[in-house]
């Protein structure tokens, strides 16, 4: 069973929302590191990563990313 994970990533002074596909929580955190390294030219100064929610991956799954209406 795979899941879609929603993270809050605190980088320097800003917060980024990240969505990761993985089989388990630990794998999701590990792959988030990979994606962060791939995305930013310079290795980001990550203060904190928060796993907020996970959803089962069926044929369709997703999250809405809205700064003002985060749904929690």
Partner 1 sequence: MAYVKQWAENEKLNKTEIAKLEKDGLKIIDDIPYYAENGFDSIPKEQWDLFKWAGLYLQRPKEDGYFMMRVNVPSGILTKPQVETLAGIAKDYGRGVFDITTRQAIQFHWLEIQQIPDIFKRLEAVGLSSAGACGDITRTIVGNPITGLDPDELFDTSAIVKEVYDYFQRNEDFSNLPRKYKLSISTNLKNASNAEINCASFTPAVKVIDGVEKKGFHLKVGGGLSARPYLAQTVDAFIDPERTLEVAIAVTTIFRDYGYREKRHLARLKFLIADWGVEKFKEKLEEFTGPLPSKGEEPVEEWNAGYFYGVHDQKQEGLKFLGFNVPVGRLDAEEVFELARISGKYGNGEIRTCNSQNLIIPNVPAEMVDELLAEPIFERVTINPNSFMGHAVSCTGIEYCNLALVETKERMRHVALELDNRIELDVPVRMHMVGCPNSCGQRQIADIGLQGMKVRNKEKQMIEAYEIYVGGTLNAGGQFNEKLKGKIPAEELNDVLVNLLQYFKAEKNAGESFFDFVQRVGIDTLQVQLDSILEPAAS
Interface residue list for partner 1 (CB under 8 A): 1, 25, 29, 46-56, 59, 71-72
CA distances from 57 to 4, 9, 24, 61 (A): 6, 22, 12, 6
**Distance linking the first and last C-alpha atoms of the chain:** 24
Minimum separation from the CB atom of position 35 to partner 1 (A):
14
Minimum separation from the CB atom of position 46 to partner 1 (A):
7
Minimum separation from the CB atom of position 40 to partner 1 (A):
16
State which residue, 68 or 72, has the beta carbon closest to partner 1: 72
Report yes or no: 31 and 20 within 8 Å, Cβ to Cβ.
yes
């Amino acid at each position: 069973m795979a899941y879609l994970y929603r993270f809050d990533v605190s980088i320097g002074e800003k917060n980024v929302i990240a969505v990761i596909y993985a089989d388990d929580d630990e794998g999701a955190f590990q792959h988030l590191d990979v994606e962060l390294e791939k995305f930013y030219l310079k290795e980001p100064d990550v203060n904190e990563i928060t796993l907020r929610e996970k959803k089962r991956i069926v044929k369709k799954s997703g999250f809405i990313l809205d700064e003002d209406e985060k749904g929690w």
